Structure 1
């Protein structure tokens, strides 16, 4: 499942915004970077996508005092490996949204969406999200709810981009690392051993150049263990925030792919990952390489990220960057793509 187009009506600072995420050949791009300063709607775009997808399409809340048309989102998804026989996009909207289309077309669209909403409960249709408000507490491994960490991906999970109380990634990240290591040890040659190997490959790519290497799980305490600058062994809590962030992004995204696509090699599974403020907690000298490392780690994932850092955009191909800029004269947020995006 990959996103090809999104339209926002009365969402955030946008009256009517359409974003095409396709290349010149009409194929969804695997990396899209939304670049701009504060207040230009980058997070609003990610939240709109997360709330309007197969298996999870909810109504948009009207802003207080807003008397205009009801806010809504329209997304077009190419289902890819989730339904190889379907070559045209699946259009998803929130409940009770009326589009400018004949009644017969509207009825068919609603039936198709309902069908794929049911299909999404059975597996596939991966979308994971990471808030810009993400943080890491110092908490130990808690071995509980294994069906919600390794063996099950819930497509109906809501994304939170603003509520910091729901964006502590420590416990979930440690659970993923611990469960995969335990399951791989208990079942040599099993699917879990392949997931463990894929996890090590993903973390090696994301942590490249940092001097940090993932070693596995401590057999006595079940805490994830890393080596730093050669021989010094540390736990996840002792890593810097930049490294912990990359470990969480790699581990949680791979977990979702492996759980939703049990018969596919985890690094070859398809899905969408939304990351708000990709540059958060990342040192300047590593920001430029972040987009390339994400794509290398999980090449079939569509990464849709936001950033205010020019260094991140310098590591991208020109067509992958969409700049959002508020015009001083009108106050409207305008899109700039291609060469125009680079100077904004």
Structure 2
């Protein structure tokens, strides 16, 4: 990352000691240290979709760009080396023939990604929930389609209402499984129920299915009382949305395998938002258990979230008081003093 957010030049590794992608990365820091900028940089340079970075306001003459190396895993098992994706305006120190080859390869994967795979889902810290009814439209163009070119937005609150899309996934999955017993839709419905069971563990909330008359998702809460999605607390609705929308993308992009076995990347800004303190410590591990093949990249300012993680999974971002620069700290030093 060059001239992105508060960073002049940042190199960040999301690999483990063996060189494989970490299944969990937690970016930990206070306000203004660039956590959301990192998520935006990853989302803007992914297989199938690369967009230019906004120019820094402080100096319009600076060139902002991002270079990201992707291990494609099951999306391209024959590929042993990373795929390099760059911002369209990136200027790298490389020979002209190497630059031409890189641009051709990037263009090739932009076309290839339209055929399936290469899942990246994002959740803004500004997420919210309206009171919206279930709306089912053409499944082939909504639930069953993963758009690799969908732009991730971490700052636009007008695009972060998760209610309608979440309820659409819950409703369609249950209906399709009932209409086509033994089909892949039944497999997706089973996987969705498993994911929600893991994420809601300890909350007293259980997903039952659909109301047959209104097609609204129905849950039970402590005491056995039946409630609808809007009646749940924001913490529960948030976890349901993260689980349902991530699973939907995996199922749409990988129709031939169980969605819990599919690979992808999920970026979640402010994972602690709307979550009570006593549940924050288990958040990261519940996500990993719910969808173990997904690489989860989370941001948080909450020490409670970090306490529930292995220090090898935490990267702390701290602004140095003397220089004002944001520095990265990993391992035992991944704490905020």
TM range (shorter): over 0.9
The Cα offsets for residues 54-102 of structure 1, whole Å up to 9 and x where unpaired, read as: 1110111112341453100000000111100001000000113220111
1:129 aligns with 2:131: no
State the match for 1:233 in structure 2: 226
Alignment partner of 2:286: what SS?
helix
Query: How many residues are aligned here?
Result: 337
State the match for 2:280 in structure 1: 287
State the match for 2:178 in structure 1: 185
Alignment of 1:113-152 (within 5 A): 113-152=106-145
**In structure 2, C-alpha distance between the alignment counterparts of 1:106 and 1:253, rounded to whole Å:** 34
The Cα offsets for residues 255-296 of structure 1, whole Å up to 9 and x where unpaired, read as: 000000011111000000000000000000000000100000
Alignment of 1:152-163 (within 5 A): 152-163=145-156
Alignment partner of 2:328: what SS?
strand
Alignment partner of 1:72: what SS?
coil
**In structure 2, C-alpha distance between the alignment counterparts of 1:171 and 1:194, rounded to whole Å:** 23
Alignment partner of 1:18: what SS?
coil
Alignment of 1:86-105 (within 5 A): 86-105=79-98
TM-score of the superposed pair, with normalisation by structure 1: 0.96
**In structure 1, C-alpha distance between the alignment counterparts of 2:5 and 2:138, rounded to whole Å:** 36
**In structure 1, C-alpha distance between the alignment counterparts of 2:303 and 2:214, rounded to whole Å:** 41
Residues 143-152 or 291-300, more deviating: 143-152
Q: Which of 70, 75, 95 matches 1:77?
A: 70
Residue 146 (structure 1) shift: 2.1
1:262 aligns with 2:239: no
State the match for 2:55 in structure 1: 62
The Cα offsets for residues 165-212 of structure 1, whole Å up to 9 and x where unpaired, read as: 100000000000000011001001110000000000000000000000
State the match for 2:295 in structure 1: 302
Q: Please tell me whether the aligned partners of residues 280 and 305 of structure 2 are also in contact (alpha carbons under 8 angstroms).
A: yes
Q: Please tell me whether the aligned partners of residues 149 and 255 of structure 1 are also in contact (alpha carbons under 8 angstroms).
A: no
Residue 343 (structure 1) shift: 4.8
Q: Please tell me whether the aligned partners of residues 35 and 322 of structure 1 are also in contact (alpha carbons under 8 angstroms).
A: yes
State the match for 1:3 in structure 2: none
Unaligned runs of 5+ in 2: none
TM-score of the superposed pair, with normalisation by structure 2: 0.98
Alignment partner of 2:81: what SS?
coil
Q: Which has the higher strand share?
A: 1
**In structure 2, C-alpha distance between the alignment counterparts of 1:114 and 1:81, rounded to whole Å:** 20
**In structure 2, C-alpha distance between the alignment counterparts of 1:291 and 1:61, rounded to whole Å:** 31
**In structure 2, C-alpha distance between the alignment counterparts of 1:83 and 1:67, rounded to whole Å:** 39
Unaligned runs of 5+ in 1: 1-7
Aligned-pair RMSD on alpha carbons? 1.0
Residue 214 (structure 1) shift: 0.4
Q: Please tell me whether the aligned partners of residues 56 and 62 of structure 2 are also in contact (alpha carbons under 8 angstroms).
A: no
**4+ residue runs over 6 A deviation:** none
The Cα offsets for residues 292-336 of structure 1, whole Å up to 9 and x where unpaired, read as: 000000000000000000000011111100000111111111111
Q: Please tell me whether the aligned partners of residues 9 and 71 of structure 1 are also in contact (alpha carbons under 8 angstroms).
A: yes
Residue 150 (structure 1) shift: 1.9
